[in-house]
Amino acid sequence: MKAHVTAHKDYTVSRIDDRLYGAFLEHLGRAVYTGIYEPGHPTADENGFRGDVLELVRALNVPVVRYPGGNFVSAYNWEDGIGPREDRPVRLDLAWHTSETNEVGIHEFADWCQAAGTEMMLAVNLGSRGLDAARNFLEYCNHPGGSYWSDLRAKNGRREPWDVKLWCLGNEMDGPWQVGHKDAHEYGKLAAETAKAMRAFDKSLELVVCGSSHSDMPTYPEWERVVLEHTYEVVDHVSLHMYFRNPEKNTANYLALNHKLDRYIGTVASAINYVKGKKRSKRDVYISFDEWNVWYHSNKKDRAILDGGNGWPLAPGLLEDIYNFEDVLQVGCILNTFIRRSDVVKIGCIAQLVNVIAPIMTERGGPAWRQTIYYPYYFASIHGRGTALNLLVDCPGYDSDHDDNVPYVDVSGVHNEEEGTLTFFLVNRHGTEAIDVEVRLQGFAGGTVIDHQVMTHTDLEAVNTTANQQNVRPHSGSGARVADGALAASLPAYSYQMIRVRL
């Protein structure tokens, strides 16, 4: 089987915003406690942060991390996480039916972000609280001094403001499961007034308004239209969330889900354009895809805690999906879609970063290791920065529940003009046949393959565990070459590849 791809230097999508490769940490399960924070761990630093986790996060070069939720934020009092730890209250978290000690709050998270080399993306509570708590939180974080909240920050050990620029106006407010759930008009009015108050403090903030929790919501896409009509002139991004599942174990359908993702993005982009046109606005609003990942492996296991059968435990194991090789292919397809839609998707946050549906897993008191999906996320984050190419793909396909004629080869391309490189990310969705791919490089002079990474496995269900951390991992490929203005490579059945070309 053969596939033909054309990459033209002048046929581009957009400059990719580095924040497309962001992540997410919520006070949920073991994401924070025994995830990023575990005093007494052999690798813990003076602040109690796990050094082994920090090393794995730094390697990803994560540009931004969303915090503290997620569903958790909709009943969260940010003031619970400041001041002396011994004075902080223990609260019951209604979202995940657990107890929250508040040992980690904004000061600790900010210190962790500095250690990890990333920026903060903070969310305010528009569920159980509202405008006043949001503006106070903003003042606490960003005002230099001389006001009540900024002086309290200094008293709590941080004299200089953090100057956080990126803020989320609540979380999944379209969802009936959300504490403080609202309809589109209620939420749109509250978000607009909160945004106005925050911008009265600092006009340079970037604000993210809640879009649909997923594309099967009964209110989608009307939710986006209504909310944006209330908020269009005071926000910069609308958030979207999507999780990918394969409980039926139908690989062909599963690996076609990114076509549903692409339609989701396209529909919301149309809603944005509609509202922009209706308002005769000169502003552009983009998409922040600030929750995405595979999530279904742990669903049955989690029910006892989520249904309240285990009381209110502290940092229990929740949403601890153990990812397999099949999920590598899925994550590769998701990231390819974001690159191809980087004209409208400017921020992305894999959900989440550690332990909770995450590329990194830890053992309490023990090791940290890379899950299978760590690798496609790593390759995209490190090498997927630059300008997205608008590729022309000619490839055989198959029909699925999500779309017809789904190409067996899913591919994205990135031109980094500063580095003088081209990077291609390729997934072969075919389960039995290798595919020979030719990428015609038009407008690019010369070219030499400088890196070729391949991920394959004989078992789609293969996983990485604490006992076998290298079971699913990339290896150096062979045979990829540039000749006569074209890149040629062979993609084994069910494989993920990254190929880099020096121009």
Q: Rounded distance, CA 112 to CA 354, Å?
A: 13
Single out the catalytic residue among 172, 206, 320, 326: 172
Tell me whether residue 291 is one of the annotated catalytic residues: yes
Identify the DSSP state of 236: S
389-425 burial: b if 16+ Cβ within 10 Å, else e: bbbeeebebeebebbeebbbbbbbbbbbeeeebbbbb
C-beta separation of 42 from 433 below 8 A: no
- Environment class of 157 (CB within 10 Å of its CB; exposed 0-12, middle 13-18, buried 19+): exposed
Q: Cα angle vertex 4, ends 344, 433, to 5°?
A: 105
C-beta separation of 393 from 491 below 8 A: no
Reduced to 3 states, what is the DSSP secondary structure of residue 328? helix
Tokens 């657990």 locate to: 98
Single out the catalytic residue among 108, 119, 139, 291: 291
Identify the DSSP state of 301: H
Beta partners for residue 428, in sequence order: 409, 495
Tokens 């606005």 locate to: 281
Q: Rounded distance, CA 432 to CA 92, Å?
A: 50
C-beta separation of 126 from 180 below 8 A: yes
Closest C-alpha to 163, from 195, 202, 216, 115: 202
C-beta separation of 127 from 178 below 8 A: yes
Tell me whether residue 26 is one of the annotated catalytic residues: no
Euclidean distance between the first and the last CA atom of the chain, given in angstroms as a whole number = 28
Tokens 């909160």 locate to: 194
Closest C-alpha to 289, from 370, 369, 229, 351: 351
Q: Bin 345: left if φ > 0, else alpha if -120 < ψ < 50, else beta.
A: beta
Identify the DSSP state of 37: B
Q: Which residues are catalytic?
A: 172, 291
